[in-house]
Structure 1
Amino acid sequence: MASMTTRSDNPASSRFPVGRQAFPHRDLTGIGRLQRHEILFLLAEAQQWVEFNRQSAKHGDLLTGLTVINAFFENSTRTLLSFEIAGKRLGADVVNMHAAQSSVKKGETLIDTAITLNAMRADAIVIRHGSSGATQLIADQVDCPVLNAGDGQHEHPTQALLDALALREALVARGQSADDFTGLTITICGDILHSRVARSNLLCLQALGATVRLCAPPALMPTGIEAMGAEVHHDFDAALKGADVVMMLRLQTERMSGQFIPSPREYHHLYGLTKRRLGYASGDALVMHPGPMNRGVEIDSDVADMIDRSIITRQVEMGVAIRMACLEVLTRARRGVKGWS
């Protein structure tokens, strides 16, 4: 069995407060609830799992005997798979509950579903739901830690954390300091209005010191988003000037009712990331995308697949490590880890 560390023998631990003071939250329902040092703590904890996951043997026993329920009321293949792999690599019993199999389809209320899950004595519940606030509603009804895997247009905290970890890894690989993102300019372009990923990334990246530009057609930009500290742009070329990182988002047509864009072709002309357009950013700007990608709409294949610039596959890899870290940290009290009860 591969060796696994806990916070007491993780070298990064000495940078943070001892025990539960490092991360005092029972749940992870949003980035907006976290302090900067708490975000950095989760990133540091995830780093050991990055190395662990690159070993040939990737199974440990820290969560042996614990049950993790992945309750997905909204479909997402990659997020569900990432959480499932994370739980199993930590040794937990992982149960996936899909919306199509849920009693919610039969008329059960979300609170009744939460009470049912709680009665099953789960040790952690991962929730994905199409309604903003649903994750917090369930967290208020259960006795175990709850992780938000995306709720409506609200937040997707583990996506923002994995994006930050992927970015930090890429910067370190280039020989750059990455204790935080002070001095970085990051442009996020796409369907900002419907994107919980954009909201969580805005909160996370700003907390780590980055300047964040948001770019979208007027119809896909939330009203008043400037109040969250973002620079708002509708001209993609202008938003790209000097950017160190460009993160593209897909059009979430499943959340749209009505005509938000003239056509995919016109959208690509104005807001698609092409090699020519990437030239407006800094000379070595990194390219990111949380997936799934619509190639030829928001991003061209020759940009998405750039070996020296795109870190899209690295984002996927970091997802497992971040989710392992979150599950391990949030279950420490239940496992009786010293200083976490």
Structure 2
Amino acid sequence: MPELDEHTPVLQLNRFDQLRHFLTIDGLSCQHLTDILDTADTFIEVGSRSIKKVPLLRGKTVANLFFEASTRTRTTFELAAKRLSADVLNINISTSATSKGESLSDMLQNLEAMAVDMFVVRHAQSGAPHFIAESVTPRVSVINAGDGRHAHPTQAMLDMLTIRQHKGQFNGLTVAIVGDILHSRVARSQIRALNVLGAREVRVIAPDTLLPVDVESFGVKVFNDMSQGLEGVDVVIMLRLQKERMEGALLPSESEFFRLYGLSEKKLKLAKPDAIVMHPGPINRGVEIDSAVADGPQSVILNEVTNGIAVRMAVLSMAMSGQIAELAADEEVI
């Protein structure tokens, strides 16, 4: 499977400008992202019902294909699909036929033969969901649940929903993203979403060893000093050190990283008094964030988890609607 090229065309909208796949934030307009947030807003109250179900995907089948370990993302996608009344297949990749030598293409074709309507894909290789989206039939939609260092669009959108809930709008906001920018697909998607939605300034704070060489081209302001970078920000997003993706010694030690770039109560005071603290998880307490901050009054980390279900319900339902609309138009032509 080829690595994703930055110029690879992403055909995630149908001819009616509706979501068909959801692979990346790139190529989507402010209106597209706002539509996702507005749709997610309508699903938030479903979680408080005695019967947490709506019938939008009744009769549809969603297959979760997670080639990487995950807890929050896989679980919230499963809950989202079930709350939309879909049937859900959780494919255990380690015990699937791919472990016996079956190709990814053959596995997909077999699942399509079982009338699966949507694949939710998490993969260590950048571009895997794009490859799958190009390979499936028109009757299947593909959702990217995180691929390599490339993108994690639903995580970015649940973060945008959380920010909008607490700050009302994006215009005028200064957002700081702190930590392992180099290996973070989440940061790339967050930066793109924040810029599209109109944030005043997006900052990244990290040592040079944890910054991409072309990071300025992302549309961010770069800080190596946390005290300077946190000054007057509205939102602080902490990132996990992704040691599983690191090659070589990029850090002197975890304790030294926490001293320089970990978020403590003292450092948080440099931000605005009403700043919110976010983290996509999993949290490494005492490495990138102090427990007093993670569990403190400015933390909205658990709100992010709750919002993940609503956002993923929105994306699943919108992609299915886009698929149905395009298929109906094709049938009319025939």
TM above 0.5, yes or no, is yes
CA distance in 1, matches of 2:302, 2:33: 22
What is the deviation of 1:22?
7.5
Higher normalized contact order (CA 8 Å, seq sep 6+, divided by chain length): 2
Q: Is the 8 A contact 1:23 1:41 kept in 2?
A: no
Q: How does 1:116-127 map to 2 (within 5 A)?
A: 116-127=110-121
Q: Is the 8 A contact 1:115 1:141 kept in 2?
A: no
Q: Is the 8 A contact 2:64 2:74 kept in 1?
A: yes
- The one-letter code matched in structure 2 to 1:217 is P
CA distance in 2, matches of 1:230, 1:282: 19
Which residue number corresponds to residue 231 of structure 2?
A: 241
CA 1:207 to 1:221, structure 2 compared with 1: closer, same or farther past 3 Å?
same
What is the TM-score when the length of structure 1 is the normalising length? 0.88
- The one-letter code matched in structure 1 to 2:196 is A
- The one-letter code matched in structure 2 to 1:47 is D
What is the deviation of 1:102?
2.8
SS at match of 1:201: helix
1:267 partnered with 2:263 = no
What is the TM-score when the length of structure 2 is the normalising length? 0.90
CA 1:333 to 1:282, structure 2 compared with 1: closer, same or farther past 3 Å?
closer
Which residue number corresponds to residue 11 of structure 1?
A: none
What is the deviation of 1:51?
1.7
Q: Is the 8 A contact 1:163 1:315 kept in 2?
A: yes
CA distance in 2, matches of 1:201, 1:26: 21
Which residue number corresponds to residue 196 of structure 1?
A: 185
Q: Is the 8 A contact 2:20 2:323 kept in 1?
A: no
Segments of 5+ residues of structure 1 without an aligned counterpart are: 1-19, 172-176
What is the deviation of 1:299?
0.2
CA distance in 2, matches of 1:126, 1:305: 31
CA distance in 2, matches of 1:70, 1:306: 34
Which residue number corresponds to residue 160 of structure 1?
A: 156
Which residue number corresponds to residue 53 of structure 2?
A: 59
1:300 partnered with 2:290 = yes
CA 1:203 to 1:339, structure 2 compared with 1: closer, same or farther past 3 Å?
farther
CA distance in 2, matches of 1:200, 1:333: 22
Quote the RMSD (CA, aligned, Å): 2.0
What is the deviation of 1:336?
5.8
Deviates further, 327-336 or 128-137: 327-336
Deviates further, 229-238 or 101-110: 101-110
CA distance in 1, matches of 2:329, 2:269: 49
**CA displacement, residues 217-248 of structure 1 (integer Å, 9 cap, x when unaligned):** 11110110111211111111111011110000
SS at match of 2:26: helix
CA 1:207 to 1:51, structure 2 compared with 1: closer, same or farther past 3 Å?
same
Deviates further, 162-171 or 114-123: 114-123
CA distance in 2, matches of 1:338, 1:165: 30
CA distance in 1, matches of 2:222, 2:109: 42
CA distance in 2, matches of 1:84, 1:50: 16
Q: Is the 8 A contact 2:62 2:117 kept in 1?
A: yes
Segments of 5+ residues of structure 2 without an aligned counterpart are: 1-13
Q: How many residues align?
A: 315
Which residue number corresponds to residue 148 of structure 1?
A: 144
What is the deviation of 1:59?
1.3
CA distance in 2, matches of 1:222, 1:104: 33
